Amino acid sequence: MRKKIVAGNWKMNLNKSDAHILYKNLESKSYPNDVEVIIAPASIYLDSFSNASKVSISSQDVSANDNGAFTGEFSAEMLSSMNLRFAIVGHSERRTFHKESDLLIFQKVKMLLKHGITPIFCCGESLSDRESKNHFNIVKSQLSQILTMLSKKEFSKVVVAYEPVWAIGTGLTADPQDAQDMHSFIRGLISEAFGSEASELTSILYGGSCKPSNSRELFSMKDIDGGLIGGASLDSESFESIVNSF
Ligand code: PEP
């Protein structure tokens, strides 16, 4: 049975006091035992949430380099020294605003795996890719390095998040069947690369304007194993309701 996961990506939101209030609210709730609940606060707050018990803590990013002269960055080794178990990589905002390439994202994945941290690897097409019916090719090429250059053992630690860029923060959600089609396509690619058992064990999350009103339908799809939640993760009631929609 693959793991169900709901991860909240707080992005660059919340001052210290508001971040702590949200964290405390989330820690006071109860969640189904079989769902891994993750929050990804801004990196400067990560260490102050290290005592979390109900939720796991994720970074929103990581450097592709080992420790050294990289001003402003933080390494996988640093995350591991804070006992973090997850890090998001390849988010479309990093790909767009920081021009992150598939190769750089792959290097980040390698670095996380080297330090025992689970990468939440994001992929997803733009609106023009979808309109030109190129979305499957785009997602395939974004996944190509992790599917061809990781070992099966390394890949078994990876969580995939399919996030159509046109749905992120826009209020537009992928039609559940369209999302399912892409998740099934991704699972097929994993099966080709590592075999059907590995593909059946990989959690594939959906992200893009997921909210309490649509999470139940999305999560009921056969190949959707949870969500990566942006805006709705900043409200504890909405986030709890998404987690409980499984
Ligand atoms: C995200 O940024 O990962 C995301 C899914 O955002 P939102 O839920 O706000 O669309």
Answer yes or no: 217 catalytic: no
Distance of CA 191 to the CA centre of its chain: 20
**pLDDT, tens only, 109-122:** 999 999 999 999 99
Per the residue annotation, which of 100, 163, 183, 240 is the catalytic one? 163
**Mutation test of ligand 1: which of 210, 224, 241, 243 has the most ligand atoms closer than 8 Å to its C-beta?**
210
Q: Which pLDDT score, from 0 to 100, does residue 1 have?
A: 83
Query: How many folded domains does the chain comprise?
Result: 1
Mean pLDDT for all residues in the chain: 97
Q: Which pLDDT score, from 0 to 100, does residue 53 have?
A: 94
Answer yes or no: 20 catalytic: no
CATH value at residue 161: 3.20.20.70
Q: How far is the CA of 60 from the centre of ligand 1 (A)?
A: 12
Q: Which of 58, 50, 53 is nearest to 28 (CA)?
A: 53
Q: Could you tell me if the CB of 228 is within 6 A of ligand 1? A: yes
Structure tokens at 185: 């396509």
**pLDDT, tens only, 28-84:** 999 999 999 999 999 999 999 989 999 999 999 999 999 999 999 999 999 999 999
Residue 235, pLDDT > 90, answer yes
**Does the predicted TM-score (pTM) go above 0.85?**
yes
H helical segments located in the chain = 16-27, 76-81, 92-97, 102-114, 127-131, 135-149, 152-155, 176-194, 196-201, 212-219, 236-243
Query: What is the C-alpha separation between 203 and 153, in angstroms, rounded?
Result: 15
Closest-lying ligand 1 atom to the alpha carbon of residue 161: 3
Q: How far is the CA of 32 from the centre of ligand 1 (A)?
A: 22
Find the mean pLDDT for residues 168-192.
96
Q: Which of 143, 145, 151 is nearest to 114 (CA)?
A: 151
Q: Could you identify the residue written with the tokens 């990876």?
A: 158
Q: Could you tell me if the CB of 210 is within 6 A of ligand 1? A: yes
Q: Whose CA is nearest to atom 2 of ligand 1?
A: 230
Per the residue annotation, which of 36, 91, 125, 135 is the catalytic one? 91
State the residue range of the domain holding 152.
Answer: 4-243
Find the mean pLDDT for residues 5-30.
97
